[in-house]
Chains A and B, each alone.
Chain A
């Protein structure tokens, strides 16, 4: 049964090898666009995730205020997870480390201008613009805290960028998916046309719908999978070339390969389905 379906499917492909090959290539090239956006989005997410995880609220203290005095008050605020005290000396040390060679001008200071500060880590749940704003307002009310920097504008920008990128991805996914489905649709339509006689005979002798349609589904899915593998190979080549020019992207090989094959098979199946539904009532 399976061998019959396979044989009939291959027979259909062998009747038009060139158009099968070319449409598989076209399919692969279209899919490559999806893959490139997928890869870029994936990498962007990784770097944004790193930035996001680092989010802390900075509270700058009065020089006279002692940490132990206000620590408990801050801990009481909902969403605060950990408080670290940075003394004036530590702040200077951190600044020196960050500036590296350019830090030499700091040597000439006669007085440390940096205030003592607190770095407040907040729970993941509280990492939302509104929540951070709420925590920030509460911090400002605590005597001894001169200034607070929470960077919620930065976070809201990040979220906006992320949302826009997801919208762009979805838009591209839809447009490319439609073109890719159309490629398969046309190919299967041609196969159906080439094999009218076979279909007619099968219907007359009492073959089930499943037997009649399966070779065409198989062809579409096969084309999708082959096109997917082709696009994966192209993506890999592009990735290696970019690595040579020192653009380091993370490349989740297995994830990408599975994603490509699944999406290829899925879109191929849909294309076949549309053609079959249109032509075989």
Chain B
């Protein structure tokens, strides 16, 4: 599903964030990317969702080479990917429901379909009772759940999560991680970047450990 073939990334300031990275992620797999700060975890995710283009190498996602993707094709390509960040990136002047609605309307989905999809995902994540709350009325864990709901509501085949538990306490983190496990069990491919090097073992999932832009394990 995702294949990195000798990918290198050098940023404009000549900093090499990735150095000859190769790995594959199968459809339905759950992959952790671990490593110290500045290792290049976020860079890998950014290359997958075409925010950054690799300087060298091939990146194949769903049989498409993302390394040479055209600007115009990016929007359609991203509809198949759900992205979750450490800082949630919610809209604070809109309710939970409206946050999800915004995303579906922005990708031009029809009205009746929108409501149904939102209700289904809110029920699944146990957020129904919070649907009319504003994000500031929610705990950090709940806000991250809303962000996950927003990523899932458009039924992506791939979920990318960058440090999703970085801003929430341990208790809530466990719940969030369990949600990702469930998402993965339903067949969605998950790639998660994290500092917590014990998480892969705990969940018995494959991990890719990188240090200074190089894969050292996995």
What residues make up the interface of A, taking CB atoms closer than 8 Å to B?
A: 1, 4, 197-198, 200-209, 211-212
Task: Report how far A258 CA is from B198 CA in the complex, Å.
Answer: 69
Return the contact of A204 from the options B72, B78, B105 (Cβ within 8 A): B78
- With A1-B108, A198-B91, A201-B91 known as contacts, the answer to whether A206 contacts B102 (CB < 8 A) is no
Task: Report how far A197 CA is from B93 CA in the complex, Å.
Answer: 11
Chain B nearest CB: distance from A194 CB in Å? 10
Q: Which residue of B has the minimal Cβ distance to A281?
A: B71
Residue in B75, B78, B107 whose Cβ sees the most chain A Cβ within 10 Å:
B75
Which residues of the other chain, B, contact A203 by a CB distance below 8 angstroms?
75, 78
Return the contact of B49 from the options A1, A4, A204 (Cβ within 8 A): A204
Q: For window 79-127 of chain B, which residues contact chain A by CB distance below 8 Å?
A: 79-81, 83, 89, 91, 102-103, 105-108
Q: A205 touching B106 by the CB < 8 A rule?
A: yes
B77 at the A interface (CB under 8 A): yes
Return the contact of B103 from the options A197, A205, A208, A212 (Cβ within 8 A): A205
B202 at the A interface (CB under 8 A): no
Query: Other than the known A198-B102, A204-B89, A206-B75, what 12 A-B pairs have Cβ atoms closer than 8 Å?
Result: A197-B91, A198-B91, A203-B78, A204-B49, A204-B78, A204-B83, A205-B79, A205-B103, A205-B106, A206-B76, A206-B79, A211-B108
B154 at the A interface (CB under 8 A): yes
Chain B nearest CB: distance from A33 CB in Å? 38
Chain B nearest CB: distance from A205 CB in Å? 5
Q: A207 touching B107 by the CB < 8 A rule?
A: yes
Which residues of the other chain, A, contact B80 by a CB distance below 8 angstroms?
206
Chain B nearest CB: distance from A245 CB in Å? 52
Task: Report how far A208 CA is from B78 CA in the complex, Å.
Answer: 10
Q: B89 touching A208 by the CB < 8 A rule?
A: no
Q: A206 touching B107 by the CB < 8 A rule?
A: yes
Task: Report how far A212 CA is from B103 CA in the complex, Å.
Answer: 12
Which residues of the other chain, B, contact A212 by a CB distance below 8 angstroms?
106
Which residues of the other chain, B, contact A197 by a CB distance below 8 angstroms?
89, 91
